[in-house]
Structure 1
Amino acid sequence: METVQLMQHLGTQFSELSAALLATDGSGLDPDRVVRFAAMAVPSTHHCGLTLLRPKQAPHTVSSTDELSRNVDRIQYALGEGPCLDAAEAETAEIAGQLDTDERWPRFGPRCVEETGVLSMLSIRLAMVGQDQAAMNFYSRERDAFGELELAVASIFAPFAALSVEHTLRERDARNFEAALSSSRQIGTAIGILMAQRRITSKEAFSVLRRASQHLNRKLRDVAEEVERTGALPVRASSPLPDDEVVDGTGTA
């Protein structure tokens, strides 16, 4: 693509992307939308995706244009090496044009080419808040597909991608917090019901809940929800939890 045509193409892409990001319902911050725009804008790109690294969690692909890019990422995650993992933790971008012979990733490269046909990758770090790390990844089945021009265009998309990932994480964290808060309230209510019914302490009532959870092989919050709803512990018909079981408050989860 000629430089003038590329600039015109990019202008159109960014106009559409900017309009999408200004959507009042927040839908413009969808990572899927960002990777689609980026894949169309960066020359020689066939696929695009976003990799996220969060403390104490396995690497995760937040969004991708298709299943092929997710397959490339799965290989990297399984082997613990690859451009997207390095880029997420580094200050510089990672560019690979011949993955089958690239000595930086001796296990990932050959396997990636054999299983997916992807020969070139461009991975660029996203600026994230706190300890989260992320990278935007571009994939091509051509050799030496990415250079300085592609890196420059990808770098323009990076802030949009980072913003979309942050937005997604904040929404997810908020949902998890609300679920945890709701679960805590249900457990507290269930403990109160058991305390009143059995005339036991809060510690003993919590132990009763945990024992029931183990006995029924159900999550603690689900058992608590049923106690809150029905006023009684759920039982397994074939093997009910004895109502007069000794409770010393030291049961294990």
Structure 2
Amino acid sequence: MEWSEFAEEMARLARHLLEQESTQATLDEIAAAAVKLVGGCDAAGILALHKGRAVTLAACGDVVEKSDRLQGELCEGPCFDAASRAGGERLFRIADLNEPQPEWSRFAPAARDLGIGSMMGFLLYTRQEDFGALNLYSYRAGAFTAESETAGWLLASHAAVALASARTVDQLEHALETRHAIGEAMGILRERHGLSEEAAFDALRRISQHHNVKLRDVAHSVLAEELGGS
């Protein structure tokens, strides 16, 4: 793909990512775009670490989840390191997994058994936070070139911005849903027990504190009880 064509594809992708309706949809589109746009890429995925555990957030290709699972079990591997920022690196490229990989002596031979010939990975990050790592796989050794690395880096940069936007939208929607549920629960308590607005909110808060349950979960319980009794 010529660079002018790649630039046009990236511009279309940036708009397309911002049009997605959820963070998960954005993640899935990023993985699919990597396979489509980066030369030599046969499969792609996004890996994050949650409490030290490797989690596959998106996958395009069967080998992705197998590789992520393997790295999580071994606590070793380039994607695992990229997601955890081990050594401070923001990208990696393994040209040939048939060659010795001292850093990942257990992962490399197991990856070859999965049919992986070469790999690249890019940390997905903005100034505020990290999202994990975008990881690209090829079944051929030497598939990724310097141009592939540049293309992958540009894609990862676009993806991080789109993910930041998607998370913000998800957080706002979640906050609105929570506020709406609490308002409805307060209305039920006011009608049922003749409470003022302040007293109804205090009742929800006391239950939340006493049972160590989030306020939104208390509100949902009140709503579920009302629906069950109606």
TM-score (norm 1): 0.65
Deviations 1:156-205, CA, capped at 9 Å, x for gaps: 222212123223322332333233333433444455456549xx995599
Choose from 119, 122, 132 the match for 1:121.
Answer: 119
Question: Which structure would you say has the larger Rg?
Answer: 1
Indicate the percent of aligned positions where both proteins have the same amino acid: 18
Q: Which residue of 1 aligns with 2:78?
A: 83
Gaps (5+ residues) in structure 2? none
- Partners in 2 of 1:153 and 1:205 — Cα distance? 51
- Partners in 2 of 1:22 and 1:204 — Cα distance? 42
Q: Which residue of 2 aligns with 1:35?
A: 31
Rate the CA distance shift 1:140–1:24 in 2: closer, same or farther, 3 A.
Answer: closer
2:10 counterpart of 1:21: no
- Partners in 1 of 2:157 and 2:12 — Cα distance? 15
Q: Which residue of 2 aligns with 1:135?
A: 133
Q: Which residue of 2 aligns with 1:112?
A: 111
Rate the CA distance shift 1:102–1:14 in 2: closer, same or farther, 3 A.
Answer: same
CA drift at 1:49? 1.9
What is the letter of the counterpart of residue 108 of structure 2?
Answer: G
RCO comparison, higher one (Cα < 8 Å, 6+): 2
CA RMSD of aligned residues (A): 3.9
CA drift at 1:130? 2.1
* 1:165-244 matches, cutoff 5 A: 165-192=163-190, 195-196=193-194, 202-203=202-203, 207=207, 220-229=218-227
Preserved contact between residue 34 and residue 164 of structure 1 (Cα < 8 Å): no
Q: Which moved more, 1:144-153 or 1:21-30?
A: 21-30
Rate the CA distance shift 1:196–1:182 in 2: closer, same or farther, 3 A.
Answer: same
SS of the residue 1:94 aligns to: strand
Preserved contact between residue 53 and residue 132 of structure 1 (Cα < 8 Å): no
Query: How many correspondences in the alignment?
Result: 215
* 1:32-111 matches, cutoff 5 A: 32-53=28-49, 58-88=53-83, 89=85, 90-96=88-94, 97-98=96-97, 101-111=100-110
What is the letter of the counterpart of residue 62 of structure 1?
Answer: L
Rate the CA distance shift 1:187–1:77 in 2: closer, same or farther, 3 A.
Answer: farther
SS of the residue 1:118 aligns to: coil
Larger relative strand fraction: 2
TM-score (norm 2): 0.71
